[in-house]
Amino acid sequence: MQQKDVLPMKTEVSEKRVVTTPATVQTMTGSEAVIRSLIAEGVDTIFGYPGGAIMPIYDALYDFQQEVHHILVRHEQGATHAAQGYARSSGEVGVVFATSGPGATNLVTGLADAYMDSTPMVCITGQVNAVLLGTDAFQETDVIGITMPITKWNIQVTRSEDIPGAIAKAFYIARNGRPGPVLVDITKNAQVGKLDFNYKKCEYIRSYHPVPELSEEAIKDAAALINQAQRPYILCGHGVLISGAEKELIALAEKANIPIASTLLGLSAVPVDHPLYVGYLGMHGNYGPNINTNECDVLIAVGMRFDDRITGEVSSYASQAKVIHIEIDAAEINKIIKADVPVHADAKTALQALLPHIAPTQHKEWLQTFKEADKQEYDKVKHRELYPEEGMLKMAEVVRIISEKTGGHAILVTDVGQHQMIASRYYQFKDPNTNITSGGMGTMGFALPAAMGAKMGAPEKEVVAVIGDGCFQMTLQELGTIYQSEIGVKIVILNNNFLGMVRQWQQLFFDKRYSSTEMINPDFVQIAKGFYVPGRKVTDRAEIAAAVEEMLTHKGAYLLEVVVEQEDNVFPMVPAGAPISHIRLE
């Protein structure tokens, strides 16, 4: 765990705090057991929002302010995204508290987002007294029913003595196998009732086997395919980062000179300047990586799940290639793309087993095709995006400057839309786990709270959130949290006065009928000022470099609004549902 000493507590610490988890059985309330269970799981940061049904837990928290840092968000959705950002930057489980009813329903978007993007999170919600369950009591909502399809697991606890066991199981499930969000709903009577506390970590659930047994045969088959391949191609997904398999992946690529492309969530696993890294896949990915998916002869998909933004039309996707699919979630294998060699395993374990079987090879001509495609993309798109000399500022050049000034070492948190695609395309990622974005759900409003969490999870890192003007207005109240908890995130709003990505589609596919996508925006810098966060607005190309510099050198949070070209489009682009080979450069 990182040190959190950059974040001073503003509240007085109470006298009667008890420091350690007791080794022996001790009688206490369910609420105290909740906090002690969390501490036993190594939790030191919680994002949450109080309310009637969770008040006993908040009361217990008051005694543990030295051990557990509670961040009071401004909306429960913000708590979930913050916990996601925290989990993704620290590798720990993100923890959320919310009250029953509206508190719990406000978690839904974040839970669904974390579920899609395999982010470990434990949400604890208060619930009405067990005797009132099912009576439509005040603030009673069936959170278990509501969150069933968007959590990896959930449980309602109605008795104090079941609390430690439920929390232990929650952490085990959230962390292991394919990680995901878990929800523990605790009724008020369970929070106030007494129990004999004795915490045991969960290490085994008889019906759940998160670590698959590696098939030696599958590894040999995969190696044979790779060794025979003329045009092998690695697709790197989020699973590589989750299992910490970056080194193994690069070793495999280097041994046999295989090009690596990345999915949106796989970004940052391989440094962008690595000679075998060829770029980013999908609807707004790079030209060569998309085109060549339909040219390779062996496709090695590692920890990715063939999302439709990657595959386009499935029937023509890599139909010429033999597919090796390394994936920890058995349900993902053969779900979208049939694997010739399915490897049901953790990415790191599989790659470690695979490496010794791989023969050193060259694939010069094959690698050259990526270079040629990249040159085309550079001439047609990248150059004029990155280095425009006239007209309004472009999103890409802003991202280029941020990338240059941070050396590609910052954690880049992006929201959803054009700015997300542009930032993902042009930020020069150097270090693993520095790309945090909402991939599977595409949740607008993700970035500001996620950046907040990311900074708390990795306080030593620079965290830059790149946010659209539309997205910012979905969760901007978290500026309040940023101020109160002194979280030093840098916020860049790329303001095009449009819901840009939707407007782009309207332009290209709906005859420029800009239905409800133009935005009359407030004065963002003034808003930030209202939350005591300093900022600056830039419209001029001549000012942008200095403004980014100023933002980065400023100690503490800072908001930079950049007014960019209104009707800019993100290219290349694969029209939705089209084969990826139909990728358009303009």
Partner 1 sequence: MDNNTSHTAAASNGTTHSGLREYTVTVYTEDRIGITNRITIIFTRRHINITSLTTAQTEIPGVYKFIITVLAEREKLDKVIGQIEKLIEIHRAFVHDESEVVYQELALYKISTASLHNGNIEQLIRDNNARILTITSEYFVIEKTGHQQELIDMLQKLVPYGVIEYSKSGRVAIVKWSRRFHDHLKDLQRKEADNLKLVH
Ligand X SMILES: Cc1ncc(C[n+]2csc(CCOP(=O)(O)OP(=O)(O)O)c2C)c(N)n1
**Residue 208 within binding range of partner 1, rule CB under 8 A:** yes
Q: How far apart are CA 43 and CA 61, in angstroms?
A: 12
Contacts of partner 1 in 127-146 (CB under 8 A):
144-145
- 24-27 own/partner pairs: CB under 8 Å, 24+ apart: 24/198, 25/196, 25/197, 25/198, 26/196, 26/197, 26/198, 27/194, 27/195, 27/196, 27/197
H or E stretch covering 330:
none
Sole residue written with tokens 């599977």: 440
In whole angstroms, how far apart are CA 508 and each of 282, 305, 470, 577? Answer: 18, 28, 20, 15
Q: How far apart are CA 479 and CA 481, in angstroms?
A: 5
Catalytic residue among 474, 501, 551, 573: 501
Q: Which does 309 bind (CB under 5 to 8 A by kind): ligand X, partner 1, none?
A: none
The amino acid at 142: D
Q: How far is CA 316 from the centre of its chain?
A: 29
Q: Which does 499 bind (CB under 5 to 8 A by kind): ligand X, partner 1, none?
A: ligand X
Residue ranges with strand state E in 367-417: 411-414
The amino acid at 180: G
Closest contact distance (angstroms) between CB of 192 and partner 1 is 22
**Does the active-site annotation cover 139?**
yes
User: Which among 150-158, 442-450, 491-499, 557-565 is the span making contact with partner 1, rule CB under 8 A?
Assistant: 150-158
Q: Which does 54 bind (CB under 5 to 8 A by kind): partner 1, ligand X, none?
A: none
CB nearer to ligand X: give 51 or 417. Answer: 417
Pairing assessment for the beta strands 260-262 and 232-236 based on DSSP bridges: parallel
Closest contact distance (angstroms) between CB of 385 and ligand X is 14
Closest contact distance (angstroms) between CB of 380 and ligand X is 21
Closest contact distance (angstroms) between CB of 171 and partner 1 is 13
Q: Which does 173 bind (CB under 5 to 8 A by kind): partner 1, ligand X, none?
A: partner 1
User: Which among 51-59, 201-209, 381-389, 575-583 is the span making contact with partner 1, rule CB under 8 A?
Assistant: 201-209
Pairing assessment for the beta strands 194-197 and 26-29 based on DSSP bridges: antiparallel
**Does the active-site annotation cover 501?**
yes
Catalytic residue among 9, 138, 216, 404: 138
Q: How far apart are CA 304 and CA 325, in angstroms?
A: 8
Asked if residues 97 and 54 have their Cβ atoms less than 8 Å apart, the reply is yes
Residues in the chain: 586
Number of residues that bind partner 1 (CB under 8 A): 19
**Does the active-site annotation cover 26?**
no
Q: How far apart are CA 504 and CA 509, in angstroms?
A: 8
CB nearer to ligand X: give 185 or 561. Answer: 561
Instruction: Tokens for 442, please give them.
Output: 């595409």
Instruction: Name the residues that contact ligand X, by CB under 6 A.
Output: 415-419, 442-444, 468-471, 494, 496, 498-502
CB nearer to ligand X: give 370 or 498. Answer: 498
CB nearer to partner 1: give 345 or 528. Answer: 345
Q: Which does 471 bind (CB under 5 to 8 A by kind): partner 1, ligand X, none?
A: ligand X
**Residue 380 within binding range of partner 1, rule CB under 8 A:** no
**Residue 159 within binding range of partner 1, rule CB under 8 A:** no
Q: How far apart are CA 258 and CA 232, in angstroms?
A: 6
Catalytic residue among 2, 26, 65, 139: 139
Closest contact distance (angstroms) between CB of 62 and ligand X is 35
CB nearer to ligand X: give 225 or 494. Answer: 494
Q: Which does 205 bind (CB under 5 to 8 A by kind): partner 1, ligand X, none?
A: partner 1
Q: How far apart are CA 322 and CA 342, in angstroms?
A: 11
Number of other residues whose CB lies within 10 A of the CB of residue 222: 27
**Does the active-site annotation cover 10?**
no
The one-character DSSP state at 379 is I
Of residues 573, 472, 370, 481, the one with CA closest to residue 82? 481
**Residue 295 CB partners (closer than 8 Å, separation 6+):** 231, 320, 369
CB nearer to partner 1: give 112 or 173. Answer: 173
Contacts of partner 1 in 302-361 (CB under 8 A):
329-331, 333-335
**Does the active-site annotation cover 138?**
yes
Catalytic residue among 67, 77, 97, 188: 188
Catalytic residue among 76, 248, 332, 377: 76
CB nearer to partner 1: give 154 or 437. Answer: 154
CB nearer to partner 1: give 100 or 294. Answer: 100
Active site residues: 76, 138-139, 188, 501
- Interface positions with partner 1 (CB under 8 A): 144-145, 148-149, 152-153, 156, 173, 204-208, 329-331, 333-335
